[in-house]
């Protein structure tokens, strides 16, 4: 079931009522209902997906109990932890990466003939997300950061919680799991704040991302039919499409979780206002990048040791991050591109610069910050071309054509209504998020005390969403990961 389907609002309302008014007095029954609702939500795509997520959940829960039992026997607890990691990553590799590597092998050694090699398995929605979430639990139990959970229902609720199940945030057991272990009471102000955050998420997805997608899809499908300027515009629109799409999903997920008294991890912190690439990756897809930091980068040595070692660790993290996003060389190249952008920062010792808020206490940023943010956005935008292209050859062709400006260069497009209306929605997004860059989310409305003004904002956003909603629009981009 998708957040943008007509089924979801009815599903959410029914689950909300049963959660609080029927099962709210008994924690175990309430958690069991969360599992049931989450499995209905996830099985809506394909009931066969439920078998895999249930198997992953049972394996990780059981491994946690065994690690706890062997706490005083390091070799046994380590063996259990490693076995669970290998099993879960093996399942992920089989479904997501086997055909990719098999086809790549055939292309190099068999002239592209892959008959009999490929499995053509259906990729379960969100498998990368819930696999990483389940893994974090067993690893943290092994490290002694959390105690094993004996309640299997509580653990199933942690892995399958439907708001963030298919596209994050990737939760840690230290944050989400304890919330299913204690009674929850309905908080009206928290629920209202959740609805506001959902509303902003829908605006970003439907009004910004889906509206940009129409032009983006055409440009990337037929780049030879567009001028260099139009291709640059296409890359610019995709930067806001993927941001509106993914951060919009995160807002809807975090907001809907608040309706059930659950607080999820913030996944985006106005990343396009970043002043260098390191700050960007501290603000974009925070739950994934902190996962790689804690479970891969730091165990490899992190930023300790020589700069050569730091560079090695950075490339490992970003290449694997690219592969995590998709089984294609374009994603690996995108990860490598981002690692390359880190080189000047690593060599100059500037990776930890700009950890503060952007222009605190000021309405506008300084000129230096404007230049830094513009350059960082431009570098990120170029990387998104690799991310969006179907093949490396397509990406190379797109890059070449971007700088070919013939007579006229299609500049009349910049005055067209379709271009200007997209710019208007992007401008609304940028202005609102800039003004609320220090808030928990852009529609927190901390400074709007007039009830009339608040309801006017709600009505305008709802009207825009309903007016521009299209049931033929693409689903969330990150569902494929």
Q: Is 325 a catalytic residue?
A: yes
In percent, how much of the chain has pLDDT > 90? 74
CA nearest to 476, candidates 255, 241, 302? 241
Any residues with CB less than 8 A from the CB of 297 and at least 6 apart, and which? 313, 314, 316, 317
Joined tokens for residue 465: 């969403």
Joined tokens for residue 259: 């309706």
Report helix angle 74-96 to 127-143, nearest 10.
170
Mean pLDDT (the chain) is 92
- Domain boundary assignment for the chain: 7-185, 190-275+354-480
Supply the pLDDT for residue 172: 93
The mean pLDDT value for 328-339 works out to: 96
Q: Please report which residue ranges of 23-97 form alpha helices under DSSP H.
A: 27-43, 49-69, 74-96
Which candidate in 113, 325, 441, 449 is catalytic? Answer: 325
Question: Does a cis peptide bond (omega within 30 degrees of 0) precede residue 169?
Answer: yes
Report helix angle 27-43 to 49-69, nearest 10.
140
- How many angstroms separate the CA atoms of 248 and 234, rounded? 20
DSSP 392-456: HHHHHHHHHHHT---SSTTGGGGGSHHHHHHHHHHHHHHHHHHHTTTSSSTT--TT---HHHHHH
- Please check whether residue 141 is in contact with residue 172, taking contact to mean a CB–CB distance below 8 angstroms: no
pLDDT digits (tens, 9 = 90+) for 441-458: 999 887 788 889 999 999
Supply the pLDDT for residue 407: 60
Query: pTM for this structure?
Result: 0.93
- How many angstroms separate the CA atoms of 392 and 329, rounded? 7
- How many angstroms separate the CA atoms of 31 and 21, rounded? 14
CA nearest to 83, candidates 59, 61, 52? 59
> pLDDT grade, residue 31 (50/70/90)?
very high
């Amino acid at each position: 079931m998708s957040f943008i389907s007509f089924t979801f609002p009815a599903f959410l309302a029914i689950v909300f009522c049963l959660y609080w008014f029927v099962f709210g007095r008994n924690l175990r029954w309430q958690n069991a209902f969360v599992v049931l609702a989450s499995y209905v939500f996830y099985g809506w795509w394909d009931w066969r997906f439920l078998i895999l997520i249930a198997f992953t959940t049972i394996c990780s829960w059981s491994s946690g109990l065994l690690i706890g039992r062997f706490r005083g026997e390091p070799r046994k607890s380590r063996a259990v932890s490693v076995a669970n990691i290998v099993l879960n990553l093996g399942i992920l590799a089989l479904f997501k990466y086997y055909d990719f590597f098999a086809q790549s092998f055939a292309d190099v050694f068999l002239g592209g003939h892959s008959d009999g090699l490929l499995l053509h398995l259906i990729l379960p929605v969100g498998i990368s997300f819930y696999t990483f979430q389940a893994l974090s639990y067993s690893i943290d139990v092994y490290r002694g950061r959390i105690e094993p959970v004996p309640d299997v229902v509580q653990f199933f609720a942690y892995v399958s919680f439907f708001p963030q199940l298919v596209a994050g945030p990737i939760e840690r057991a230290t944050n989400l799991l304890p919330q299913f272990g204690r009674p929850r009471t309905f908080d009206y102000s928290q629920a209202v704040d959740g609805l506001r955050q959902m509303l902003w998420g829908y605006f970003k997805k439907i009004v910004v991302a889906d509206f940009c997608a129409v032009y983006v899809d055409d440009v990337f499908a037929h780049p030879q039919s567009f001028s260099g300027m139009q291709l640059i515009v296409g890359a610019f629109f995709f930067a806001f499409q993927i941001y509106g799409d993914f951060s919009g999903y995160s807002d809807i997920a975090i907001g809907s979780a608040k309706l059930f008294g659950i607080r999820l991890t913030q996944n985006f912190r106005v990343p396009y206002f970043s002043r260098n690439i390191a700050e960007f990756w501290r603000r974009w897809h925070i739950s994934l990048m902190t996962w790689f930091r804690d479970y891969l980068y730091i165990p490899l040595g992190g930023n300790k040791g020589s700069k050569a070692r730091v560079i090695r660790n950075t490339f490992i993290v970003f290449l694997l991050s690219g592969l995590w996003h998709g089984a294609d060389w374009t994603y690996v190249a995108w990860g490598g591109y981002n690692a390359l952008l880190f080189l000047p920062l690593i060599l100059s010792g500037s990776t930890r610069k700009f950890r503060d808020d952007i222009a605190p206490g000021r309405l506008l940023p300084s000129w230096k910050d404007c230049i830094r943010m513009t350059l960082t956005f431009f570098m990120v935008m170029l990387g998104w071309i690799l991310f969006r292209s179907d093949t490396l050859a397509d990406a190379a062709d797109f890059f070449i054509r971007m700088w070919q400006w013939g007579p006229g260069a299609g500049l009349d497009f910049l005055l067209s209504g379709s271009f200007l209306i997209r710019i208007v929605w992007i401008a609304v997004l940028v202005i609102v998020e800039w003004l609320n860059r220090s808030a928990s989310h852009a529609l927190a409305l901390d400074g709007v005390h007039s009830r009339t003004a608040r309801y006017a904002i709600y009505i305008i956003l709802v009207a825009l969403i309903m007016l521009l909603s299209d049931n033929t629009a693409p689903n969330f981009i990150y569902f494929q990961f």
